[in-house]
Amino acid sequence: MENGQIIGTPKEIVKGEARVAMTPDSALQLQKLGYQCAIQSGAGVMAGFSDEAYEKAGVEVIKTAKGLWEKADIIAKVRQPETRELKYLVKGKTLISFFNPAGNEEGMTAAKEAGANVIAMEMVPRISRAQKMDALSSMANIAGYRAVIEAGNNFGRFFTGQITAAGKVPPAKVMVVGAGVAGLAAIGASVSLGAITYAFDVRPEVAEQVESMGAEFVYLDFEEEQQDGAATGGYASVSSPEFREAQLAKFRELAPEVDIVITTALIPNREAPKLWLADMVAAMKTGSVIVDLAAERGGNVEGTVMDEKVVTENGVTIIGYTDFPSRMAAQSSTLYSTNIRHMMTDLTPEKDGQVNHNMEDDVIRGATVTFEGEVTFPPPPPKVKAIAAQKKPEVKQLTPEEKRAKEIADFKDATKKQVIMLGVGGLLMLLVGAYAPASFMNHFIVFVLSCFVGFQVIWNVSHALHTPLMAVTNAISGIVILGAVLQIGSSSSLVVIMATISVLIASINIVGGFLVTRRMLAMFEKS
């Protein structure tokens, strides 16, 4: 352990930033990888983590930022480093943080000249293996949830509808524009609070996700070939002018009805598209609330002011805060530090406390923006594409003649297999009959035929009233009941008792099968 490199986390210097890149729990996990941990005094206080908590976790607390930057081999932080922090970068040091490489020329130049290695957490490729390191999604998830809480804090009614002795309260109507990670989190929070929730996204493939969460997807009466967002890192593509007009017309139609609007449409290093225009804001009811999660890039709403809350002339509140994750600092820090810890796990395959910066690894290469004095941004496309972006094999459409030919060929194959099985079965019967007594053969033939008939009956039971599994188990229980009923008239009291017990147990199985199926189906019903 003593020979392991030191991971240090400084205090964030951006005004109002409460998150921290290392928590006491994540420090314990990093130490299991062989690293020593250090933190600047007070770095975790705003997130609810005291210096004493870090010391108990075996983390060295260093008083000054300069002392920490100089001592640590690896720096893990949240925000893009400021100018005075860039001066601490030296050859061989590794920095892991949000870095905004496409819009941070100063930082890229400083890292290159210093020879420092920089891993930008927002550049983690969105492939399945890297989901545990996807800090953008972690923070967007919190922002979406917090947006609903912030909207509720400024909304004058309940989200859920209520009927009380004092009167009836209608449910709130919430519109979520953009169904990415933040949008889905907002939808989940809104639905769970009882609001009638609508959602819109230019990517048609997200409609099923939205509806599965209990919200209503807003469709446009417009046909346009949309780019699959999964192929572009999960972001929506730019739409045609005609599609945009159809989209705005739909929003104008919905504006007078909805009480809360949450907009999430934002692509890094691009101006946010204007989706909710001034006339739509003017059409909303007094007391309505808009939360604009794209405020840092100009906002999706006309009238949004970055980091401020404004109230329009018609009484609509527009919230343009950009620090939603920081407003839930403890939760945000826990998730972000876990993303960092997973990144360090990939960087330390030997668990020996030494960074192995493997540029052949898709995830590490994709997130690295400077390495050994060279700028490596932008990265090449990952060798393994995101699952959602992988093109499904095209199914060839068969002509009627080809379909008929295929059906005949399949029938011939099935017939051939049945003939072979019957032939093998016949030979086995002849072999057994040559040596077994006649009384045994009578019983054996009945047994074989019953197995065959039972198999055909069980596997041809319709699944209409069951899940496929319950259909099979209930069919088996049904055959058991049939056989037991036939034996109840036996002259042997023991056979009658066993048959009665069989009917009872099989009946319990059938009733239980229906109950379990009913509960499983209820899970997919809208409340």
Catalytic residue numbers, as ranges: 126, 131, 134, 137, 235
Residue 163's beta-bridge partner residues?
A: 168
Tokens of 227: 């780019």
CA 131 and chain centroid, separation:
9
Tokens of 4: 């392991």
Nearest CA to 35 out of 287, 449, 350 is that of 350
Residue 55 backbone phi and psi in degrees, to 5: -60, -40
Distance CA 208, CA 219 (A): 12
Residue labelled with tokens 């917090």: 146
Q: Are strands 117-120 and 368-371 parallel, antiparallel or unpaired?
A: antiparallel
Q: Are strands 60-62 and 6-9 parallel, antiparallel or unpaired?
A: unpaired
Q: Is the dihedral of CA 98, 102, 107, 110 positive or negative?
A: positive
Q: Where are the alpha helices (DSSP H) in 156-287?
A: 181-192, 207-212, 241-254, 278-283
- List strand residue ranges (DSSP E) for 282-381, in order: 289-292, 309-311, 317-319, 368-371, 374-375
Residue 249 to residues 15, 227, 242, 246, 253: CA-CA distances in angstroms?
A: 40, 21, 11, 5, 6
DSSP class of residue 76? E
Distance CA 281, CA 301 (A): 8
Nearest CA to 201 out of 231, 227, 166, 173 is that of 227
Residue 230 to residues 30, 237, 362, 390: CA-CA distances in angstroms?
A: 32, 10, 17, 9
Q: Are strands 309-311 and 74-76 parallel, antiparallel or unpaired?
A: unpaired
Residue labelled with tokens 């093998």: 424
